[in-house]
Each structure stands twice: as structure tokens, then as C-alpha cells.
Amino acid sequence: MEEPRVKRPKISRDEDDYLPGNITEIELHNFMTFNHLVCKPGPRLNLVIGPNGSGKSSLVCAIALCLGGEPQLLGRATSIGAYVKRGEDAGYIKISLRGYTKEEQITIVRKIDTRNKSEWCYNGKSVAKKEFLPQDRVCEFAKLTPIQLLEETEKAVGDPQLPVQHFALVEKSRELKKYKKAVDKMGDSLKQLIALNAEQEKDVERVRQRDELLEKVDCMKKKLPWLKYDMKKIEYLEAQKREKEAKKKLNEAAKMLNEFKAPIEYDGLAVQARSKYKEIEDLRREEACRKQSIIEAKMKLADAERDLQNLPAYEPPKEEIERLKSQILELTSSAHQMMQQKKEKEKSLGQMKTTLRNCVDGLKDMENTKTKLLHALKKSGAEKIFEAYQWVELHRNELNKDVYGPVLIEVNVSNEVHAKFLEGHVAHYIWKRLRIPVAFAVKCAYFVLYEVYSCCTQYLAFYCSGSLVIQGSWLENVGKRSGRNDAD
């Protein structure tokens, strides 16, 4: 249901019969045919009557121009300067309007000149222009279409930006119609595409199922190597477990060997290294002391120079300065020497560390070789000799004298020819014996030397002077060639 239209509020007249906005006075100066005119219309004036040429239109033009109209709206001259009286340079129009009360008066003044310049004043202040529809164009205004009538009304009474906004709104409306047509067209296309999509949906479903199966196949192919990897990993963990057990046994055997092996060379090198390190520390302390002495000397020199600058003009103590400079040079030279000695000591310490590391590596190699020899001896059938060796190692601290052996572990020949000659002419049971202190050791050594000398005297010198290395090929066959049992 439509709401009733709101009626315009009725404005009542005041005691003087004027309404707000009525013209109370018109003043013209040098305007068209008038030199100066003051007209005071009554409160109910709505018609101006007079013969042709009496100035009726001039009065209406003055009202229109003063209230913000432009010359183009009046249909007469096109410039404001044409309304100035001929022979004059400027003129003005002044209109007074009734306010809301009798005491309130609104004064509007428009000043014009022949240079087409004009100025509006509202109660003495500049105001904006307002468009006005003159009486001469009423007939033309009545012939306009509703659209044109709206546009002219907006130009006449609206904001100056209103026609621009109206035009933009019209353009947007046209664009909206185009968009609606495009939407309708796209809707038809969408319906066609939906129908086509429904037809192709089955094909898409089959393709999707095929892709899922292919994806499962790829997944299975990817899982297969992982299954193989898991199986191999289980085997690897079992092998790693066996390896750890073997390493544990090996470490226990090596620990037993290290407990009864006195690294004399290592201790000696360690003592030398500590001694060298102590010397380097002493050199560092001396160097720090010398640096401190140099700093103190420089501070004394700076103090002396400051005192020298503050003293009156007389001959400075050059000898003291020279002495201090000489002392600084000596301390600097001594510091350089100490630095050089420090570098040499550090270099020597590095060499000793390298030698110590080589000795440690050599000891490890000897221990590994000894372990291999013990395993070879055990595999050769001399399990009891191996057990006896382990017992001696465990109870070595309880024995009164050193026990050596078996001979296989204690004897090495570096030359391959000598090693083959020795293993071919010395009885194999000798290599399996334990060497009991002093007397038995002398007998074993004498027996070995006698065997070698009796076979070939020319190799005796090589045997006595050469270093010892037992060949692995002989170690593997010790048990096979042995003519003695484990009891020997």
C-alpha cells in the first residue's frame, strides 16, 4: 500500500503582508536604459504592466541577473558587459529580499562592467551563482520533453554537479542494459554447457576411475622397493648386531692386551710434550710481561710528552726521551725474539705431537698384528697354548718375573727371504712355546740361532741385524706344518 504524499507546509504572511523571499526593493545603476532607479514593489506584486520600451523586460533581466542568471538564459545579449548603459564603464544591480522576520533583510548585489566581469555579494560577502529561468523562455521551457524538462530543471535549480551525475547515471543505465543482454546470452550458453557437461560426465567418471587405478598401480610400484628395503634392513640389523657382538669381543681382547702393555715410548713422548708445552706457557707469560712493560713505557712516554708541552719554553730532556725510546725499541725487539722462539717451540711441539701420534698408530698396528698372530695360533691347533697365554696375561701382576711367548708373537723378520728361510729351517713346535724367564729364554734363543747357523752360516749376520716381520702365508700354515702337539 502506497504511503500518502506529504503536503508542503503552508507559510503564513506576517503583519506587513510579506512572505519570506518577497522582493522589497530593486535598485539599478547604469543598467541598460536606466541611469539610476529604485523600485519598491508591494508584498503581492506578480505582474508588471507598461507600454513597449518602458523597461519591463529590463526590470525582469535585472532580477534574473542579480539572482544568479547568465546572459545566455535571457535570450538577449550573450555577454554581461552588454547590459551596462551605453557610455558608462560599470554598473550594479541591488535587490533586497524579505527574511523570516520583518527585521531580517537579505541583500544581493551584482556588479558588472564592460569587460564582462561580474561580482555577487550576499549581505556584503561573495556568493555562488544560481541558474534562473527568465520569463522570455517560459514557452520554450513548456515545449520540452520530460527528459529535457528534468535536465533543464536540474540546470536551473540543482547543484552544478547534478547534470554531470545525471549523465553518468544514464550511461551506467545503458551499460546495465548491455550487461543484462550479455547475462541473458551467457545464461543460454550456460544451459547449453550444462547439458553438454551432463553428457560428458559419464566419460569423466570413467577417466577418473582409470586415473585412480593408475594411481594405485603407481603406489604399489613405489611400495615394492620399500618392502624390499625393509627386508634388507632386517638382514642388515641382524648383521649389524652380529658385528657389534664381534666388536665387543674384540674390544674385550684389546682391553686385556692394553692393560698389560706398557706404552713406554708414549709416556716418554708425553713427558716431552708436557715439558715443551710448559716452556711455551713460560714464553707466553714472558711475552705478556714484555707487552705490559712496553705499554707502561708508552704511557710514561705519553705522560712525559704531555708534561713537556705544559712546561715553559726551555730545552726539553731529550736524553730521557731518547732513553725511553731506546728502551721501547729494546722491549719491542725482545718481544719479537720471544714471538719467534714461541713459534719455534710451537713448531717443535707440533712435530713431537706428530711423532707421538705415529708412535700411537704404531702401537695400535703392533697390537692388531699381535691379535692376528694369536688367532692364527689358535686356528693352528694350539688352543691350550692360547688359553695359557690368556691365563698369563690375566695373572701377570701376580708373577715374580716376566713371562714371554709364545715365540711366534715375539719374533718378526722384516726381510721376506729371511722369513721364508727361518720358517723352513726352525722346528714349528718352537713357535708355540711360552718363553719362561731368563734361562728358558736363553735356551730358546740359542736353539734358534743354532738351527739357523747349522743350515746356512751366511744368513746369520742378516738374522742378528735385521728387524722382524712374520709373513702371513706362513702363519696360515703353521698348524699344518707343525710336528708337535699343543702339549709341546
User: Cα–Cα distance between 188 and 194 in angstroms, integer?
Assistant: 10
CATH superfamily of 23-143: P-loop containing nucleotide triphosphate hydrolases (3.40.50.300)
**pLDDT band of 42, cuts 50, 70, 90:** confident
Residue 38 to residues 30, 41, 59, 341: CA-CA distances in angstroms? 12, 10, 11, 122
pLDDT at 363: 73
pLDDT at 478: 36
What's the average model confidence in pLDDT over 444-463? 43
pLDDT at 277: 72
**pLDDT band of 445, cuts 50, 70, 90:** very low
User: Cα–Cα distance between 333 and 322 in angstroms, integer?
Assistant: 16
**pLDDT band of 480, cuts 50, 70, 90:** very low
What's the average model confidence in pLDDT over 345-365? 81
Can you tell me which residue has the cell 712493560?
293
| Tens-digit pLDDT profile for residues 156-182 | 665 667 878 888 888 999 999 999 999
pLDDT value at 409 more than 70: no
Give every CB contact of residue 19 below 8 A, 6+ residues apart in sequence. 11, 13, 43, 98
What's the average model confidence in pLDDT over 301-312? 71
455 membership: H or E segment, kind and range:
helix 439-455
pLDDT at 177: 92
The closest alpha carbon to 162, from 175, 174, 171, 152, belongs to 152
pLDDT at 268: 61
What's the average model confidence in pLDDT over 39-47? 82
pLDDT value at 469 more than 90: no
**pLDDT band of 294, cuts 50, 70, 90:** confident
Q: What CATH number has the domain spanning 264-368?
A: 1.10.287
**pLDDT band of 138, cuts 50, 70, 90:** low
pLDDT value at 451 more than 60: no
Strand bridging mode 90-98 / 34-39: unpaired
pLDDT at 435: 42
Give every CB contact of residue 39 below 8 A, 6+ residues apart in sequence. 25, 26, 27, 28, 59
Mean pLDDT comparison of 80-94, 312-326, 420-434, highest-scoring range: 80-94
What's the average model confidence in pLDDT over 137-155? 72
Report the percentage of the chain scoring pLDDT > 70: 70
Residue 409 to residues 117, 204, 422: CA-CA distances in angstroms? 131, 82, 15
User: Cα–Cα distance between 171 and 15 in angstroms, integer?
Assistant: 52
User: Cα–Cα distance between 123 and 99 in angstroms, integer?
Assistant: 12
pLDDT value at 221 more than 60: yes
pLDDT value at 321 more than 50: yes
Per-residue buried b or exposed e for 246-273, using 16+ beta carbons within 10 Å of the residue's own CB: eeeeeeebbeebeeeeeeeeeeebeeeb
**Mapped to the 3 state alphabet, what secondary structure does 127-185 carry?**
CCCCCCCCHHHHHHHHCCCHHHHHHHHHHHHCCCCHHHHHHHHHHHHHHHHHHHHHHHH
242 membership: H or E segment, kind and range:
helix 162-259
pLDDT at 337: 86
| CB atoms closer than 10 angstroms to residue 452 | 20
What's the average model confidence in pLDDT over 299-323? 71
pLDDT at 175: 92
pLDDT at 297: 78
Question: Between helices 162-259 and 318-379, what is the axis angle to 10°?
Answer: 60
What's the average model confidence in pLDDT over 462-479? 36
| CB atoms closer than 10 angstroms to residue 366 | 13
pLDDT at 59: 86
| Tens-digit pLDDT profile for residues 84-109 | 888 888 899 999 888 887 788 888 88
pLDDT value at 57 more than 70: yes
* More confidently predicted of 125 and 424: 125
pLDDT at 181: 92
pLDDT at 263: 57
pLDDT at 143: 73
User: Cα–Cα distance between 378 and 387 in angstroms, integer?
Assistant: 9
pLDDT at 178: 92
Average confidence score pLDDT of the chain: 74
DSSP 3-state of 113: strand
Determine the residue type at 472.
Answer: G
What's the average model confidence in pLDDT over 17-33? 85
pLDDT at 16: 73
**Total-model pTM:** 0.30
**pLDDT band of 485, cuts 50, 70, 90:** very low
DSSP 3-state of 39: strand
Q: Alpha-carbon torsion 277, 281, 286, 287, what sign?
A: positive
**pLDDT band of 448, cuts 50, 70, 90:** very low
Task: Answer for the pair 339, 283: CB distance below 8 angstroms, yes or no.
Answer: no
The closest alpha carbon to 280, from 356, 351, 347, 354, belongs to 347
pLDDT value at 395 more than 50: yes
